[in-house]
A = this chain, B = another copy of it.
Amino acid sequence: MARSNNQETRTVLRHWQEDVPDDRLAHLVRDAGRVLTKTLQTKLADHSVSFGHWSFLRILWVTEGLTQRELSEQAGLMEPTTYTALKAMEANGLIERRQLNGNRKNIHIYLTQKGRDLKQTLIPLAEAVNESAVRGVDEDDLLATRRTLLAIISNLAEANE
């Protein structure tokens, strides 16, 4: 898999260096996102964690006890996606799904010790990917990139009204 992964990254890179007209920032953003995801995915796989599960772990390491609905919203995924992922994560022993008090509608999600412990292992992996990705990039460029990407998300939130 490392080979085909790298193969793909190279091809995407060559494409951008040689072929691309100057007006396709969207395409560039998507490609960068894709290689970032692939790279992290490969590292997470060594610990039997899929990228989808990582998304929820990240949130739960900050706040446990959220409902499935709340997790969906924070992750930016639809509820069936969340439902399936959480079921799988429960089966993998990463989380527990609990009903609290008398409420039979809401299901609250808690980490198991195993899920909690993974934080120490996985966060450094993600940080390493980030560091390696931006190696050599000017600090001002990074700040400008953050501004631009936030503006894109914000502009499209309005444009989609």
**Chain A interface (Cβ within 8 Å of chain B)?**
2, 4-6, 8-13, 15-17, 19, 23-26, 28-37, 39-40, 42, 62, 73-74, 76, 78, 126-127, 129-130, 132-138, 140-142, 144-157, 159-161
Q: A145-B144, A161-B6 are in contact. Are A130 and B25 (CB under 8 A)?
A: yes
Q: Residues of B contacting A19 with CB < 8 Å?
A: 62
How far is the CB of A54 from the nearest CB of chain B, in Å? 10
Distance in Å: Cβ of A75 to nearest Cβ of chain B: 9
Residues of B within 8 A of A149 (CB): 28-29, 31-32, 145
* A153 in contact with B25 (CB, 8 Å): no
Could you say which of B6, B12, B133 contacts A76, with CB atoms under 8 Å apart?
Answer: B12
Rounded to whole angstroms, the CA-CA distance of A30 and B130 in the bound complex is: 12
CB-contact partner of A11 in B25, B34, B76, B150, under 8 A: B76
Contact B36 A152 (CB under 8 A): yes
**Are B147 and A35 neighbours in the complex by a CB distance under 8 Å?**
no
Verify B157–A13 contact, CB threshold 8 A.
yes
Chain B residues positioned under 8 Å from A160 (CB to CB): 2, 5-6, 9, 39, 42
A157, chain B: closest CB distance, angstroms: 4
Q: Could you say which residues of chain B place their CB within 8 Å of the CB of A16?
A: 150, 153
Are B33 and A30 in touch, CB under 8 angstroms? yes
A51 to B: closest C-beta gap in Å: 10
Set B29, B62, B138, B144: member contacting A33, Cβ < 8 A? B29
